Structure 1
Amino acid sequence: MYDGKLAVLTISRGGNVTATYAWGDIADNKPGVADGEGKIFGNTLKLRRLPNGGDVSAVMQADGTLAVTYGLADRTYTGTFTKQ
Structure 2
Amino acid sequence: MYEGKLAVLTISPRGSVTVTYAWGDLADNRPGVADGAGKIVGTTLKLGRLPNGADASFAMQPDGTLAVTYALAGHTYTGTFARQ
When the two structures are superposed, what TM-score results if normalisation uses the length of structure 2?
0.98
Q: 1:49-84 CA deviation, whole Å, 9 max, x = no partner? A: 001101110000000000011110000111100000
Q: Could you tell me how far 1:41 is from its partner in structure 2? A: 0.2
- 1:68, 1:52 → 2: CA distance? 17
The residue number in structure 1 matching 2:38 is 38
The residue number in structure 1 matching 2:53 is 53
- 1:80, 1:26 → 2: CA distance? 15
- 1:25, 1:2 → 2: CA distance? 7
Summarize the alignment of residues 1-84 of structure 1 with structure 2, pairs less than 5 Å apart.
1-84=1-84
Which stretches in structure 1 are left out of the alignment for 5+ residues?
none
Q: CA RMSD in A?
A: 0.5
Aligned length: 84
**Runs of 4+ in structure 1 over 2 Å off:** none
SS in 2 for 1:37: strand
- 1:76, 1:34 → 2: CA distance? 19
